[in-house]
Each structure stands twice: as structure tokens, then as C-alpha cells.
Amino acid sequence: MPPPTLPRVQPATPGRQRWPLMMGVSLAMSVTVGVTAGVLVSGPAEVSQYLQELLKSWRAPPAVTTSEDFLAVADQRESGHDGDARAAGQTPEHDSDAPHDHDHDHEDGVVELSEQARRSIGLKLGTVGLSTFQRTIRVPGTVVERPGRTRQAVIAPLTGQVTQVYCTPGEAVRPGQPLFELRLTHEELVQAQADLLATTEEIDVVKRESARLEELRTDGLIATKRILEQEYELQKLEGRQRAQRQGLILHGLHEEQVDAIVSTRTLLSKNTVRVPAVDASAEAAAFVLQDLRVERGEYVAIGDTLGLLVDHSILLIEGEGFEKDIPGISAAAAAGRPVAAILESGAGKTREVTDLRITYLASAVDSQARTLDFFVTLPNERVASPANEKSRSIAWRFRPGQRVEIIVPVDEWPGRIVLPATAVAQDGVENYVFHTDDDHFHQQPVQVEYRDPRWVVIANDGSLELGETVALTAARQLLIALKNQSGGAVDPHAGHHH
């Protein structure tokens, strides 16, 4: 059997035999030229470092048998550095220019805040829970005085001349405190005093005569009939005196003044006008002399107004309910639900007064404005003590004419997740709440069932877990920080409702 025939090996062509040699010579010349140029430009130290880096970057070459293998190895050496960089997760740029990796990659929907940032935005935290939400309506109102209670006119009880004014406008006064002094010139009053004095003198005469007759009767020298006649006369005079005393009181004199006329036997030449007494059944008054109508030396007649006192310790808020809100306002008044009032307190700030009650509703709807007036009792507050005790001035927090916004509860929704309006950020059609995990705040989309300027009702659909901690304020700032972190734009009016 003949031996097997081996395949014939084709001899290498001259071109394929010279290719590796030519590439080696070219590479050697390139390295020599590069080293020489580096020595001339940078110096031996930099060239030595360059050669070390070059040697490290070259791996041991695989066996080269053909020109195709040599070209493949050369391509691998040229692209080896970039390949290693891609394998390591780096870009094929120079290592010195590549950005450094961050310690923590930003997670989608999570923002991290420092303690300083929390204080800067006024961040407050709270837990999610269920509560009863009261749906409210807001109606405009105005602070007004109480008809028949706030104002008290001081009138002249007698005709006379003003000789003294004891108070100035703006001063607080007490019941019974002197306000004016009048010199009496009224003839009727003078005659009434004279009649009282005459009656008093006649009573004294009858009493003395009765005492004398009593002594004679013991001796049997006088008849009993005479003594009885004196007693009857005394009763008549005493009855007339009582009537005359009441007449002087109706003229404007006090009982003390009438007693002084009887005891001193002198006519009263002047009269002091005082602050009216407060009814014992009414609340304590805090009168202020608001208006002074007379000056010293003026003559006044009976019934003339001397001054005007006001008591602003209790005021009213007159609300204007729109026609569509009348059923809710009527129901709140009938159920005695507490209402709140928001008033401006200066410098653009507002003050909320809670636990107020609707006092009464108007009996008719305004035919032109189509509104129903209702009134809320507003207890006033003193803002400061008087700087001068002699002046006794009073500064009240609420004043007639102030504009008010009244918040009236109309419905109750039990078992709701209720958060402040500042806890929910609106971005287009989406609403977000941020729940916290230490220093990280996670963005959570939620469904809003109701929203007003103060509160937001969140659907209890599992998006928020009961008891978890959320940001109660600065939700809009957290949304802006999250979008800036991800490089997205944010609507500057997001979360605002006009």
C-alpha cells in the first residue's frame, strides 16, 4: 500500500516574506525618532518615563506566522488601551481628562438635603394619618360695630354752661367717671330745687309742732284731734318731698346731689355729667371718648350731645355670602359650627382667629348683589398697655372697617389623609408628596381628591402608608431641587393657584 500523500505547502511569496521585516524596521525608526525628539524637547527624565509607560502598554506578542497575523496583532496593540478603558467603564479619552466617579449615583426620584438646606427652606416633617376633613367655603366680610351696643351718646341733662371738660378724645373712661361740668341756668330746675327746700322746711316746722302737742297731750291740755291733724299734715308734706326728689332725679341729678340739697339747705348751682352706668346683666364695657362735641364756655340745652363714647371690646364681622353658598352658611349657623376669620395684621401678614360663631343671618337676600348678609361675633384684643396711665388710652387689634375673609365649614369627610397645601407639589397633571428616609426624600405621586389654599385631601389608595414620615412643607422646593439634580426644567409657577 503506497504511503499517504502529504499536502503540498506553497512557498511564501517574496512580498509576504518581506512584510514583517519592513514593519519591524519602520517601527524601530519611529521609536528612535520619537526618543531623539523627546530628549531634545523634554529632557531625559520625561523620555525615560515615556519609555516605561510604552513598555507597560505593550503585551507579549503572539506568534506571528503570516502577514495577516502581524496586522491583526498591530491593530490589537493600537486599540488595546481603548479596549481596556471601555472594559473598565471609561471613555477612550485621556485618563487625566476623564471625570472621576461619584461615590453615590443619583437615584431617580430621590433628593438629598443637608441640615443647612432643611433650615433654609423651613422644612417640617410629620406622619401620615387619617382624620376628619371639613370642607369649607370662603366669603368676604368687614368688621363692623354692634348696633345699639358699641356707641353711647352723652347728652346734657340740663340747660347750662359748660365750665369743665375732664377728658380728651381717645381716652378710656370708666362707668361713673366725670366727663363734663355744667353751671345750671335752667329756671325749671332752679324752681324745683327751691320747692324741695320749701317742702323740707315745712316738714321741719310740722315735726316741731307735733312734738310740742305731744307734751301738752300728756298734761291733758290738748285734744287728740289736733294731734292727728298734725300727723296727717306731716304725711302730706313727706309725700310731696318724695315727689320733688324724684323730679330732680329725672332732671338729671343724682340721689347724692338731692340728699346734699336737703341736708345743706342750699341750691345746687352746678351739675357733673358722668359716664353712664353699665347694666349688671351686660358684659363689662371699655368705653373710649371718641368724639367731643362741645368746648368750655358753651351753653347747651337739655338733650344736646356733649360727646360720643364707643366700646370696641366686642365687634361684629359682617359677611356677604353668595347665593350659591347660602345653604351651607345656613346649615353651619343652625348647627353652631365654629367659623374662622383671617385678618391682615400689618406688613403683609395675616392673623387667623378661630372658634367664632355665627350670631344671626339677615332676613332677606340683597336683590341687587344677590348676597346674604350674616354676622359673626368677634371678641377684640388689646395690643398694648397704655404708656401713660393718666391718659388711659386703649389700642385695639381689630377695628371697624377692616376687610376680613370668613371660613365657613359646610361638609365633613371622615377617614381622609389630610396634608397641608405646602406638602403637595403640583407638576402639570401630577401631584407629588415627598416621604423621607433619613436625609433622602423620595418623590411619591399621589391622587388629590380636594384642594383649597390651606389643605389637600389625598386618596387613601396605598400610595402613602399610614404612619410614614413626609415633608409637610417645602414640597415645591424639593421638586425644584429634584429637577435641577436630573437636569430637567421646572415650571416657575408649579404648585401655584391663582
Per the rule left: phi > 0, alpha: psi between -120 and 50, beta: everything else, 428 is left
Q: In the numeric block, which cell numbers belong to residue 402?
A: 377692616
Domain boundaries, the chain: 14-87, 125-144+312-486
Query: CATH number for the 125-144+312-486 domain, one of 3.40.718.10, 3.40.50.880, 2.40.30.170, 1.10.10.60?
Result: 2.40.30.170
- What pLDDT does 279 receive? 64
Residue whose grid cell is 304725711 = 235
- What pLDDT does 21 receive? 55
Q: In what order do the strands lie in the sheet with 178-184?
A: 270-274, 178-184, 160-165, 299-300
pTM over 0.75? The answer is no
Please give the C-alpha separations between residue 300 and each of 185, 268, 306, 309, in angstroms, as whole numbers. 10, 18, 8, 19
In this structure, are residues 150 and 465 in contact, taking their beta carbons and an 8 Å threshold?
no
Regions of the chain where pLDDT drops below 50: 1-17, 19, 39-42, 47, 58-74, 77-105, 281, 498
Q: Supply φ then ψ for residue 15, to 5 degrees.
A: -65, -45
- What pLDDT does 302 receive? 86
- What pLDDT does 51 receive? 55
H/E/C letters for each residue in the chain? CCCCCCCCCCCCCHHHHHHHHHHHHHHHHHHHHHHHHHHHHCCHHHHHHHHHHHHHHCCCCCCCCCHHHHHHHHHHHHHHHHHHHHHCCCCCCCCCCCCCCCCCCCCCCEEECCHHHHHHHCCCEEECCEEEEEEEEEEEEEEECCCCCCEEEEECCCCEEEEEECCCCCEEECCCCEEEEEEECCHHHHHHHHHHHHHHHHHHHHHHHHHHHHHHHHCCCCCHHHHHHHHHHHHHHHHHHHHHHHHHHHCCCCHHHHHHHHHHCCCCCEEEEECCCCCCCCCCCCEEEEEECCCCCCEECCCCEEEEEEECCEEEEEEEEEHHHHHHHHHHHHHCCCEEEEEEEECCEEEEEEEECEEEECCCCCCCCCEEEEEEEEECCEEECCCCCCCCECEECCCCCCEEEEEEEEEEEEEEEEEEHHHCEEECCEEEEEEEECCEEEEEEECEEEECCCEEEECCCCCCCCCCEEECCCHHHHHHHHHHHHCCCCCCCCCCCC
CA pair distance 374, 326, nearest whole angstrom: 10
Q: In the numeric block, which cell numbers belong to residue 232?
A: 296727717
Q: Which residues pair with 178 in a beta bridge?
A: 274
- What pLDDT does 176 receive? 86
Buried-exposed string 7-43: b where 16+ CB fall within 10 A, e elsewhere: eeeeeeeeeeeebbeeeeeeeeeeeeeebeebeeeee
In this structure, are residues 175 and 277 in contact, taking their beta carbons and an 8 Å threshold?
yes
CA pair distance 295, 478, nearest whole angstrom: 66
